[in-house]
Every structure is written in structure tokens, then in C-alpha cells.
Amino acid sequence: MVPALVVKTWRDDRRAIIGWSVGIAAFTTLYTGFYSQFQGTAELKEDALPPDMLEFLGIADMTSAIGYLQATIYSLIGPLLVIMAAITLTTRTIARPEEDGGMELLLANPLTRRAFATQRLTAAATAITTITAVPWLLVAILAPTVDMNVPQGNIAATNAGLILLVWCFAGIAFLIGAWTGRRTPVLVVTGTLAVATYLANAISGLLDGGDWLKWLSPFHYFIGTDPLRTGWHPAHLAVLAAIAVVTAVAGIRVFDRRDIGV
């Protein structure tokens, strides 16, 4: 049976979950569906932009199906949207109720602090996973209908990477929220980390001797292996999963130790 607090968390978050899912579904459908019309103009774009810019944007080639998918769904806006959704929902686990006072009645339920934090995170994590699985479902269905020749297994590998990338940032957001009980640090720190690590990955190939930078970036472990072409890379995915687990466990522990609502 699903714990009452998990159900309550889902119910309180349902507008956000539905809203983000619909938005991300629209985004995915729009870009995937426009593949055939886009092809011609993509070629123009590719010629118009300098190669460094294309590399920075994570666009290898816009004309192939894989290049197009990567450029549109999986390189910038897609991850950005799901990470924003993840940060929003994770902020609601502890930081927001602690700031607005709703935590008082939630925490008065017969649960240990650890169980409380675990259930809040579990509810948020399942919601975030569902939202991030939306592009997977849509790309898997739509790709064949617009003649994209991308193996389903590679789509799965890529989207699994996206889910783990989002878990990674959700874990960081959770840790900061569980530690501080404040929304602003969660948004500022996690947002800054996301942007900084995205840039680190993007510019690592452009800088002489800057290649090592990519190893610091979760985005590298997600997309650096070119999973739409090369499929599964368990070691890379494991790094993302490890960050998610370590931050989640650390968050639960610090929440167990501190004063609440001071």
C-alpha cells in the first residue's frame, strides 16, 4: 500500500505534474513532428552557423534523424525543461512547506524524520520520473511515423540517461532543501550548478586542454557518449545514479539532524 504521505504529496503536486507533463509533451511532439518539414531549413541553419557554435549547442548535424532529435529534444531545451520541473517539484518536498508553515502539520504525523523525508522524496522522484518519461514515450511512438530511423533501444538509452540526469539534479535540490529548509538556496544553487555544468560540458571540446572539464559535468555522462547512436553506457549512467543516491541519502540524514522551522 502506498503511504498516505506519498499520496498526499502527489495530490498536492498534481497541477504541477500535469502542467509540466503537458508542456513537455507539447514540446516533444512539436519538434519531433516537424522533422520532415524541418530538414531543408536545418541544412541552411547548419551552413549558416559556425561549426564551433554547432558543437556548443550540441548539434552535430541537423539533417540526420539522430542529429535532429539530439539537437531538438535532448541537448538543450529538453533537459532544461525537465530539470526545471524537477527542481520545482523537489523544492516542494521540504523547503516550501517549511517556509510556508505547512510542514508543522505534515511532520506531526506518526513517522520518523527519515521516513518523512524518504516518503516526500519518493513521491517527488516518481512524479519527476513520470514527467521525464513523457518525451521517451512520445519519441518512441512518433519517430517511426515521421521516418526517423533511430533504434528504439537507443531512444530508451538516451531517455534513461535523461531521467538519471534529472534525478541527479533533483538529488542536489533535495539535499539543499533538506539542509536549509529554504527555497531560495535550492533554486539558486541547483540552477547555477545546472547552468555551470552544462557550460562546462559544452565548452570542454572548444577549449584547448579543457577536455577534462566534461568529466565534472553530469551532462557529459548523459549525452557525451552519444547514446542515440551508440546506445547504452552503464558506467556513465551509474555515475548519475550514484550522485542522485548520495545526495538523497545525505539529504535524509541532514534533515534527521537539524531543527525544523526555525
Partner 1 sequence: MSGMSSDIAIHAEDLTKFYGSRRGVEGLTLDVKAGEVLGFLGPNGAGKTTTIRLLLDFLRPTRGDATILGLDPRRDKAALHRQIGYLPGELAFPGREKAADLLRFFAAARGGVAWSQVTALADRLELDLTRPIRTMSKGNKQKVGLVQAFMHQPALLILDEPTSGLDPLMQQEFLAMVADARADGQTVFMSSHVLAEVQQAADRVAIIRDGRLAALERVESLGRRAIRTVEIHFDDPVDAAEFTGLPGVSDVMVSGPILRCTVDGRLSPLIKAVARHEVIDLLSAEPDLEETFLSYYYTQPDQHTQIEGAR
Q: Which residues bind partner 1 (CB under 8 A)?
A: 3-5, 7-8, 11-12, 97, 100-113, 115, 257-262
Are residues 98 and 82 in contact, defined by beta-carbon separation less than 8 angstroms? no
CB of 101 to partner 1, least distance (A): 3
Are residues 128 and 170 in contact, defined by beta-carbon separation less than 8 angstroms? yes
Q: Of 92 and 220, which has the nearer Cβ to partner 1?
A: 92
Radius of gyration from C-alpha coordinates of the chain: 19
CB of 100 to partner 1, least distance (A): 6
Are residues 255 and 117 in contact, defined by beta-carbon separation less than 8 angstroms? yes
Q: Of 43 and 100, which has the nearer Cβ to partner 1?
A: 100
CB of 106 to partner 1, least distance (A): 5
Q: Of 14 and 245, which has the nearer Cβ to partner 1?
A: 14
Q: Report the 3 state secondary structure along 81-143.
A: HHHHHHHHHHHCCCHHHHHHCCHHHHHCCCCCHHHHHHHHHHHHHHHHHHHHHHHHHHHHHHH
Q: Of 144 and 261, which has the nearer Cβ to partner 1?
A: 261
CB of 114 to partner 1, least distance (A): 10
Segment (H or E) for 229: helix 227-230
Residue that is written with C-alpha cell 540517461 in the block:
161
CB of 60 to partner 1, least distance (A): 45
Q: Of 41 and 109, which has the nearer Cβ to partner 1?
A: 109
Shortest CA distance to 133 belongs to which of 164, 105, 172, 159?
A: 159
Task: Record the cell numbers describing residue 198, joined without a space.
Answer: 552544462
CB of 122 to partner 1, least distance (A): 15
Residue that is written with C-alpha cell 504525523 in the block:
109
Q: Of 103 and 240, which has the nearer Cβ to partner 1?
A: 103
Question: Phi/psi of residue 147, each to 5°?
Answer: 60, 35
